[in-house]
Amino acid sequence: MGQLFVALATGLIVTSIWLLVRNARTLTEKIITKLLVVLHPIKDAQNTGIPGPNWKPFDGQTLEKFLDGKARTEEWQRCYGPIYRIWSGTTPEIVITRPEDIRSFHSDSAAHNKARSSNAGWMFHQLLGECMGLINGPRWTALRNEFGPTYAHSAVVEKASILSVEAREYVDHLDPQRRPGFRLRAADAVSRFPFFCTATSIYGPLSSQEKDQLWSVAQQNLAIMGKYVLLGGIYRSGRLSRWLSPASVRELGAFQAAWEEFNVRMFRTRREKRKLVPIVELWRHVEEGLVTKDEALHTLSEILFANLDVATGTLSWLVIFLALDESVQKQLREELGGRPAEESCTKKDDLLAYCFMETLRLRPFTAFSIPESSPNDKILGGFQIPANTSVVVSALHVNYNKGFWGQDSDQFRPGRFSAVKALDLRYNLFSFGFGTRKCLGQRFGEVMLKLFVIHLLGRYDISLTPAARADLDKVGRDNWVPIPEADVFFTERKA
Ligand code: HEM
């Protein structure tokens, strides 16, 4: 009896403490939100404040936005409507969902600024803070001019036949044991292809030793992203990271040293052989002070490492959607059979192009676009948004909007694009971004991924495992981009 009493009393005390802590936490969150709202008032004509979730310690909604993007899109939309505010750290971000607000916000897009380090804190800044996608003004223009010619439409068309050979070789060696049928996780099957194609576009052909070194630096970068940046908290602050997690700062330093060493070596070896590849020109400009070392290294990180996730995610989903639908595979083979791959990969109005667009629509690499601000006051959704306030687009909301895409907006139906005018897509589809800061690698990415599919379907029938069919939306959680977990069966086609 005595023991029972002690157990009950202990249970009661523990529950009370837990409730007290929880309530205190909720109360603290409410008070801090109230203070932040006073500091950043956003109201409509009736003086009603913009709705949105409470601030959460210590990152606000930053991590949920990436790691739980799909669930949060639905929840926030349901609770707060077509325009609302979330917090990135203690910085407000206005989420817009309607095409008219997206158009209005981007009407002065050339003057927009990206938020410093995407409002994501110190550790993130050390990896990407000075990259092209996150800097502004003349520094952005200089960097965009530096890389622009490599990824311009004409340059990509010229590279298409080389990319096609690379795609064919990659697909031919998908299974090192050359079995007639095998099963692989889609992301593992595809990831090295876009990565090394993109690397070759910067460094020229790489030896197998250089490839191994680059892959290993990429893993260092991705580990820091997964282990520290995506945890947020203390890693938002340099001082706290150094004090409470010196190992993370050492790991960061090791990556930074290895990344610089790799690029300097690429520059020297290519320059000695008089190879006209972009790294030679870029590093020369670093030495001449036209571009800073961090701008160059962070942009290379953006193009290679951040994009490893983006391109792997997009290509994996494309392969998975095609594996789901045998009839689309059949139609694609008929379409592709009669013409050279280099021609098919640049077309905009055929089934392959529609499959690519439909994949970007259903699986944008991020549920919420990268924050940016206008230097002008804006009225969005009836609210007065002060100049320089960060605004993000709810990409999933836009891409699944039944009002524009129809009742089956959550289904893979590539043919829907044949009935949509390009102009109407402008603010009804989030694919490569809006306005002036659109993706640098749009054409390159599109051609590269399509060539992969062309050669893949030429060699294999693809289908999904029953487990993958049952849980198609399962994604890894160690990544800021939703990378699918699904396995795909590859069956060699008879010649
Ligand atoms: C299918 C693959 C890809 C997708 C879906 C994609 C998507 C995007 C999107 C949506 C943005 C704009 C983000 C924003 O709102 O700020 C962007 C920017 C960017 N992308 Fe891509 N991208 C892809 C492939 C690539 C490739 C292969 C490269 C390499 C050249 C690349 C380099 C960049 C750069 C440097 C920016 C920043 C541009 C700037 O701010 O001027 N992307 N990408």
pLDDT digits (tens, 9 = 90+) for 234-260: 999 999 999 999 999 999 999 999 999
User: How far, in Å, is the centroid of ligand 1 from the Cα of 17?
Assistant: 48
Q: How confident is the model at residue 402 (pLDDT cuts 50, 70, 90)?
A: very high
Residue identifier of the C-alpha nearest atom 19 of ligand 1: 439
Q: How confident is the model at residue 471 (pLDDT cuts 50, 70, 90)?
A: confident
Asked whether residue 17 is domain-assigned, the answer is: no
Q: Which two tokens mark 122? A: 């110190």
Asked whether residue 109 is domain-assigned, the answer is: yes
Checking if the pLDDT of 19 tops 70, the result is: no
Q: How confident is the model at residue 283 (pLDDT cuts 50, 70, 90)?
A: very high
CA angle 87, 123, 291 (to 5 degrees): 110
Nearest atom in ligand 1 to the alpha carbon of residue 140 is 41
Pocket test for ligand 1, best of 440, 447, 451, 480 (most atoms within 8 A of CB): 440
Asked whether residue 31 is domain-assigned, the answer is: no
Asked whether residue 7 is domain-assigned, the answer is: no
The C-alpha atoms of residue 202 and residue 270 are separated, in whole angstroms, by 11
The C-alpha atoms of residue 415 and residue 436 are separated, in whole angstroms, by 29
Q: How confident is the model at residue 213 (pLDDT cuts 50, 70, 90)?
A: very high
With left for phi above 0 and alpha for psi between -120 and 50, is residue 435 left, alpha or beta?
left
Nearest atom in ligand 1 to the alpha carbon of residue 360 is 5
Who lines ligand 1 at CB under 6 A? 132-133, 144, 151, 198, 302-303, 307, 310-311, 314, 360, 365, 369-370, 432-433, 437, 439-441, 444-445, 449
User: How far, in Å, is the centroid of ligand 1 from the Cα of 306?
Assistant: 9
Number of domains in the chain: 1
The candidate with the shortest Cα–Cα distance to 118, out of 377, 366, 397, is 366
How large is the average pLDDT for residues 115-137? Answer: 94
Asked whether residue 478 is domain-assigned, the answer is: yes
Residue identifier of the C-alpha nearest atom 35 of ligand 1: 440
Nearest atom in ligand 1 to the alpha carbon of residue 311 is 2
Checking if the pLDDT of 404 tops 80, the result is: yes
The C-alpha atoms of residue 30 and residue 53 are separated, in whole angstroms, by 10
Asked whether residue 387 is domain-assigned, the answer is: yes
Nearest atom in ligand 1 to the alpha carbon of residue 444 is 27
Per the annotation, does 439 bind a ligand? yes
Asked whether residue 485 is domain-assigned, the answer is: yes
| pLDDT given for residue 22 in this prediction | 64
| pLDDT given for residue 348 in this prediction | 94
| pLDDT given for residue 9 in this prediction | 65
Compute the residue count for the chain: 495
Q: Which two tokens mark 161? A: 């036949």
Asked whether residue 35 is domain-assigned, the answer is: no
With left for phi above 0 and alpha for psi between -120 and 50, is residue 134 left, alpha or beta?
alpha
Mean pLDDT over each residue of the chain, to the nearest integer: 93
| pLDDT given for residue 26 in this prediction | 86
User: How far, in Å, is the centroid of ligand 1 from the Cα of 379?
Assistant: 28
Checking if the pLDDT of 20 tops 70, the result is: no
Measured in Å, how far apart are the chain's first and last C-alpha atoms? 80
| pLDDT given for residue 275 in this prediction | 79
> Domain range spanning residue 59?
40-492
User: How far, in Å, is the centroid of ligand 1 from the Cα of 210?
Assistant: 25
Checking if the pLDDT of 492 tops 80, the result is: yes
Contact 318, 189 (CB under 8 A): no
Q: What is the CATH number of the domain that holds 121?
A: 1.10.630.10
The C-alpha atoms of residue 24 and residue 30 are separated, in whole angstroms, by 10
What is the Cα 312 distance to its own chain's centre? 10
Percent of the chain beyond pLDDT 90?
Answer: 82
Checking if the pLDDT of 467 tops 80, the result is: yes
Coil, strand or helix: which one is 44? strand
